[in-house]
Amino acid sequence: MTQTQVQNQTPEQTPRQKVRKWVKVKYYVGASARLYFYIPVENDVMEERVIIQGQKWAEPVINYLKTKGKHRVVGRYGCSHVTHICGIYRNHVYVAKIAPKKLLRIITSSPTWERSEHAKRVIELLRKL
């Protein structure tokens, strides 16, 4: 009877097997460049949005996403306030799943991460994982 119970257990119930957590990172290049961090926190996903403008600590993360991440082109509908022409604008999106320890090393490799409130929040959430 114990053999059937062991076979019916889910992977989360086995004591030796640890569920690996990943952080989804998305880099969106449009009218403004944005970086999204989707961090799994206690049965929920925490989203941190960063507008990349003068953020030197994010450069290693962006370089990693451009080399290792998946690239796709997204079409967005928009209208110009100057020319009053409407159309579809093409924007580039890079997406990757990164292990929390690796992302922690990438962010802390930049010496300017300590000055950014966004970076401090992301580091704090990554250390909890």
pLDDT digits (tens, 9 = 90+) for 52-95: 888 899 999 999 999 999 999 999 898 888 988 999 989 999 99
CA angle 103, 122, 21 (to 5 degrees): 55
Confidence grade of residue 1 (pLDDT, cut at 50, 70, 90):
very low
- As a whole number of Å, the end-to-end CA separation of the chain is 36
Cα separation, 50 vs 1, whole angstroms: 53
pTM check: above 0.85: no
pLDDT tens figures, 6-35: 455 555 555 656 667 899 999 999 888 999
Distances (CA, A) of 94 to 16, 25, 38, 42, 66: 34, 8, 14, 26, 6
Cα separation, 2 vs 126, whole angstroms: 38
pLDDT of residue 81: 87
Average pLDDT rounded to a whole number, residues 94-100: 94
Q: Is the dihedral of CA 96, 99, 103, 109 positive or negative?
A: negative
Average pLDDT rounded to a whole number, residues 109-125: 90
Residue 116 predicted with pLDDT over 70: yes
